[in-house]
Structure 1
Amino acid sequence: MKVAFTGGGTGGHIYPGLAIIEALQATNTSFDIFWIGEIHGMEEKIITQTHLPFKGIHAGKLRRYFSLKNISDLFKIIRGFFDAYAILYKERPNLLFSKGGFVSVPSVWAAWILRIPIFIHESDYKLGLANRLSAPFAKKIFISFPQTIDQIKRPSWREKIIYSGSPVRASLKQGNRFKGRKRWLAKENQTLILVMGGSQGAKAINDLIVGYLPIKLQEEVFVHQTGLLHDQYQSYACDGYHPQAYFHDELADLIAAADIIVSRAGAGAITEFAIMQKSVILLPLLGHQSENAKWLDDQHAVEVIYPKQANQENFNTILKRLLSNPSQRRHFAKTLHNLIKDDADSFLASAIIQELTASSKISLDQQITNR
């Protein structure tokens, strides 16, 4: 059986898809899987490192504000559609699974024309633009938050929705707290604060962390993913502050070791922290991230500093309050864990297998009938 995956633009559209692929391959290594993404996009770099076949297409982005780039990108989207059509026509997968992002839309449209069944998955609290453009053509729409269905008014979409949760790679679930703390702490009784700004880093978060350093106590140790702007923060490195551009194999142990995590509010990251039962301070971007964060804030599962409140004074106050209150940290960690479904990777792999099995049986029955 052959399955095509598509999605990209950010790690939140890529890593959950890889988690599903891991679960599929753990069930049956005979699956023929490939990924459709943007030529020279982030997904190409990440997917090729996994040794999965990568099929590149041209991609454009539809912005929800006036921009001349919308005109040029429209031609890229059209070209991307024909790229995707050619790939899918040649490969003829039994199913297309879309993780969203602007690059996924041409593949979904091409798959629909070729009568290839389409599954889409939404990581955020509300359907993103790419998934709204894809939803009419999807056979099933999987969501990460149960309340997402309340945001969808079209009956034809609602009847296709299934609550699955957001997939997380198995490797991240296997983090070793002892190894992580031994790597980063000089003393076991120190408090480890992990700072993550998403796959591109986040200058606003980076600056808040650097601004906090003058009042940092000796028992507070920061391990900070700075992203693309790493060189600007390397000069602040000291015994209690460790800036690093990116984390790789050590990330699972680091998340397990952290007492507090400061992060953006991407749905994939939230799910990872929930499964690992972490106490989290979210600094969301406007849009989907703020919607993700607000839902968790309303459930008293996290601390949230919204964009208009993200100044140094507020950040220092909230971080100090959480650092001084271990019982509150435990409450946040437990509440967040209980809100998030933690078996989405295997759930979605099973849904794919059921679809492939059913379509295979229908195809066989048709062959028998036609004889």
Structure 2
Amino acid sequence: MKRKIVFTGGGSAGHVSVNAALIPEFQKNGWEIYYIGSRDGIEKSIITANFPEVQYLSVPVGKWRRYFSWKNFSDPVLVMKGFLEARRFLKKIKPDFIFSKGGFVSVPVVSAGRSLKIPVIIHESDYTPGLANKLVFPFSKAICTTFKETGQFLKGNKSIHVGAVLREGIFQGNAGKGRQLCGFTNTKPVLAVMGGSLGSFKINNLIEQNLTELIKHFNIIHFCGKGNVNGALRQDGYAPFEFVNEGLFDLVAAASIVVSRAGSNSIFEFLALKKPMLLIPLSAKASRGDQIINARSFEKAGYCRVIEEEQLTDELFLKELSYLSRNRGQIQKRMSQEKEFKRTNEMYELLVNQIDQQPDNRAL
């Protein structure tokens, strides 16, 4: 009889990427795989597009906003509906365990799993745990962390530092193909600009305002986000994209320097590929500040430069890019010493070993 796993997590690409990296390992080892996500979140488009053989199930999702919203009063009803729907799915599937990447869709799924005594392992990518993972942490058998420092924010001994879980495909990118895909024919270094899975208005605007100056020094790959490509700006040396699946690894391989938000999964992949970074983390006004902490930890290690949104100016932006260009070799040398990575086959073995150990009745 096939073993079964349920993955959950969503709301942003960062809450899906580790799941997407691990799914092929479970497929290779003959598991029956299910994914429980939201009805219209980014996790649905990523999983159904890349893994059509995975059975995708959707539940209602509520969330807690860090600002006043009347939805904070109605969304608990959605959470309860999500719990009941997830419980119905899980009773039918009877999985060996649930692997949760976080995001608010994971709360009803993990809670339902706990009510059915299904083992749960959760994963935290950021330096400090997100709210959803904090809520479901008591229901888990273990929590796997990317940053070793994350354990200090978690009670008990359930924290397992695993380092960054890397998609196998990132090491298969071909820089020449990436340049060809963009139509770059000169030898200028390539600046890759990413504003997160949904794009960033602030970063997009920054690039558009400085495009004339930037294109003097770089070829530019610009991941703008859905619906954000400005066709009027297309020109030699500037290649804008909405969102890329096929060819993404080739485009990243072509980059000499990356401008990015500071989501943990992305910046660890850039680190593994030795791509010096200029990080512009999501403001604390629009988030819990996790990206700022991620970015500052990388800056302390000498892997990047950081500009917080409130201090962002055209002049500072160009100055920091110039610094990265001049010191690129030195930064890459530091990056080459970083070993905090785990390949997907190693992570698979760790997860299966955890589940096959004697269950911890307190977690179940």
Match for 1:306: what amino acid? Answer: E
Aligned counterpart, 1:3: 5
Q: Report the secondary structure of 1:354's partner residue.
A: helix
Residue deviations 1:306-331 (CA, integer Å, cap 9, x gap): 121112121121112323x1xx2123
Map residues 9-88 of structure 1 onto 2, 5 A cutoff: 9-26=11-28, 28=29, 30-49=30-49, 50-51=51-52, 52-88=54-90
Aligned counterpart, 1:145: 147
The TM-score with structure 2 as length reference comes to 0.91
Aligned counterpart, 2:328: 329
CA contact (8 A) 1:166 1:345 kept: no
Aligned counterpart, 1:367: none
Aligned counterpart, 2:349: 350
Aligned counterpart, 1:226: 224
Aligned counterpart, 2:269: 272
Match for 1:56: what amino acid? Answer: S
Aligned counterpart, 1:163: 161
Residue deviations 1:103-128 (CA, integer Å, cap 9, x gap): 00111111111010010000111100
CA contact (8 A) 1:230 1:243 kept: no
CA contact (8 A) 1:193 1:223 kept: yes
Cα deviation, residue 356, structure 1: 4.2
Which of 117, 120, 127 pairs up with 1:118? Answer: 120
Map residues 123-138 of structure 1 onto 2, 5 A cutoff: 123-138=125-140
CA contact (8 A) 2:168 2:343 kept: no
Residue deviations 1:29-55 (CA, integer Å, cap 9, x gap): x20111000112221122112111101
Change (3 A) 1:329 1:351: same
CA contact (8 A) 1:21 1:349 kept: no
| Higher helix content, 1 or 2 | 1
Aligned counterpart, 2:233: 236
Match for 1:262: what amino acid? Answer: V
CA contact (8 A) 1:3 1:32 kept: yes
Which stretches of structure 1, 4 residues or longer, exceed 6 Å deviation after superposition?
none
Change (3 A) 1:13 1:337: farther
The TM-score with structure 1 as length reference comes to 0.90
CA contact (8 A) 2:184 2:219 kept: no
Change (3 A) 1:98 1:129: same
- Unpaired runs of at least 5, structure 1: 363-371
- Structure 2: how far apart are the matches of 1:167 and 1:250? 21
Aligned counterpart, 1:290: 292
Which of 259, 264, 268 pairs up with 1:262? Answer: 259
- Structure 1: how far apart are the matches of 2:261 and 2:126? 13
Residue deviations 1:313-353 (CA, integer Å, cap 9, x gap): 21121112323x1xx21232343454462225233211222
- Structure 1: how far apart are the matches of 2:112 and 2:66? 23
Size of the aligned set, in residue pairs, is: 351
Q: Report the secondary structure of 1:216's partner residue.
A: helix
Aligned counterpart, 2:201: 203
Change (3 A) 1:229 1:337: farther
Aligned counterpart, 1:107: 109
Looking at CA atoms only, which structure, 1 or 2, has the larger radius of gyration? 1
- Structure 2: how far apart are the matches of 1:307 and 1:337? 29
- Structure 1: how far apart are the matches of 2:164 and 2:102? 13
Q: Report the secondary structure of 2:62's partner residue.
A: coil
Q: Report the secondary structure of 1:4's partner residue.
A: strand
Match for 2:354: what amino acid? Answer: E
- Unpaired runs of at least 5, structure 2: 284-288
CA contact (8 A) 1:165 1:342 kept: yes
Change (3 A) 1:4 1:359: farther
Match for 2:257: what amino acid? Answer: I
Match for 1:43: what amino acid? Answer: E
CA contact (8 A) 2:162 2:341 kept: no
